[in-house]
Amino acid sequence: MNTQVLSSGLAKTFAQRARSFYALTKPRVVSLIVFTAVIGMLLATPGAAPTQILLAATLGIALVAGAAAAVNCLVEQRIDAVMQRTRWRPLPRGELSGLQTLVFAGVVGGLGLWLLANFVNPLTMWLTLATFVGYAIVYTVILKPATPQNIVIGGASGAMPPVLGWAAVTGEVHTEAMLLFLIIFAWTPPHFWALALYRTADYAKAGLPMLPVTHGKAYTRLQVLLYTIILFAVSLLPYAIRMSGVLYLVAACALGAVYLGYAIRVYAAYSDRVARAMFRYSIIYLATLFGALLVDHYLAR
């Protein structure tokens, strides 16, 4: 009986610990990263991407992205503890130690880079490592606590996944891959500033110089609108260079019109409810836009 109780307790403890480590990887964020990376792989070839490359690159990029998220959680554990949005994370709750997090990030990230180097190609491995450094070190450690432009500059690392996917299949970085990068790069500021607008008090309490904290909500709302206009224009470039066809053009215009409508409402008739709705839609927008690129790509073959 005691053995059964002990086994049950150990199993429960292991499951709880596994959930904590899993939470460190920010799975919802990583899922969008992996999705755009896979789209990059599939768009890079007129036919089917090689199965080994597809599987190894997807897993490798996911592991390195998860490691970068864990480092972000480690660096920002004090900030996470005072913010309502993040206080549930494993480190603020005392579920994991800093050393455990660091070892976990090292093992997971190292495994991901090993997979990319041995089963994909060196270019993808080095680009993924640079992306890791860009997010975990340049953005998290240097930019985020130092400048309200943190998300604009640091957004470069978040825009890299489709480039990584493209490089995995072709061994090169082409103009089309950089267009995918540019779309995510332009998408990032209005996406995050919509969140920052209805979480301004949280960021102020944490001492982070997010744009609505340093420049006020009115200025931030204007920037959200301007960057959304830029995003709308950038989203049309794949059609302009004949990377995509009419199906994508229609989808980009429809999705962009809705996004622009949210941005106008945030600017002209702000409420936290509208900002929250815009933030949620922005995720749907990006996933659907890249999905439309993929559908258009295969229909045009």
pLDDT tens track for 79-118? 888 888 888 888 888 888 989 999 999 999 999 999 999 9
pLDDT tens track for 31-58? 999 999 999 999 998 877 889 999 999 9
* pLDDT by residue, tens only, the chain of 301 residues: 566 555 555 566 778 888 999 999 999 999 999 999 999 999 998 877 889 999 999 999 999 999 999 999 999 898 888 888 888 888 888 888 989 999 999 999 999 999 999 999 999 999 999 999 999 999 888 888 888 888 888 889 999 999 999 999 999 999 999 999 999 999 999 999 999 999 999 888 888 899 999 999 999 999 999 999 999 999 999 999 999 999 999 999 999 999 999 999 999 999 999 999 999 999 999 999 999 999 999 886 5
Residues 6+ apart with CB under 8 A from 66: 24, 25, 26, 27, 30, 108, 109, 112
For the chain, give the DSSP string: -HHHHHHHHHHHHHHHHHHHHHHHT-HHHHHHHHHHHHHHHHHTSSSPPPHHHHHHHHHHHHHHHHHHHHHHHHHTHHHHHH-TTTTTSTTTTTSS-HHHHHHHHHHHHHHHHHHHHHHT-HHHHHHHHHHHHIIIIIIIIIITTT-TTHHHHHHHHHT-HHHHHHHHHHSS--HHHHHHHHHHHHHHHHHHHHHHHHTHHHHHHHT---HHHHT-HHHHHHHHHHHHHHHHHHHTHHHHTTSS-HHHHHHHHHHHHHHHHHHHHHHHS--HHHHHHHHHHHHHHHHHHHHHHHHHHHHT-
What is the fold, at CATH topology level, of the domain defined by 16-172? Tetracycline Repressor; domain 2 (1.10.357)
